[in-house]
Chain A
């Protein structure tokens, strides 16, 4: 499971960065989204991967601390998702405004045909 997750994070980060460096604003926003998925997965992974472990401690259950999942990364990833979502929406608005003002979706607003 660790290997699959690590590969997933790596592939997502790689594709995110590649898209980020493209000259079209749509590719940039896709790159940013994919990069933020990779970061969210990484945040999730720092709590260690465990199956069947609950984050909320029950009052009566006599389990050791290691039997519970770490709740902090889950809270972090939730916050990160919300913020990332809002920022992507905001970037989308600016992207549309730029498209409207310059008539092109090049990041610098240039109308180059050789890109």
Chain B
């Protein structure tokens, strides 16, 4: 029988139970991401983000919290043009962050 109701999943991010293996792999591979202070310059200048819902700041922010929902699909939207790296005020190697995420996804596909 269908009641027309579903059970909502909790929206809260649980930092105690999240799996940080993928995220730690990316940070080890590209430690400059540690310096990010969330200004959004990367996203403001993003070629892909200008035309699609791709949001690079949100993507790597969620990654660092151990949140990997739709990460594979999202990261594939990046065209690696590198404009974000030119504008980052904290000197994050953003292109290598993208490449690292792609590599880490292959490594940790099982936890996604």
Q: A and B: partners?
A: no
Binding site for A on B (CB under 8 A): none
Binding site for B on A (CB under 8 A): none
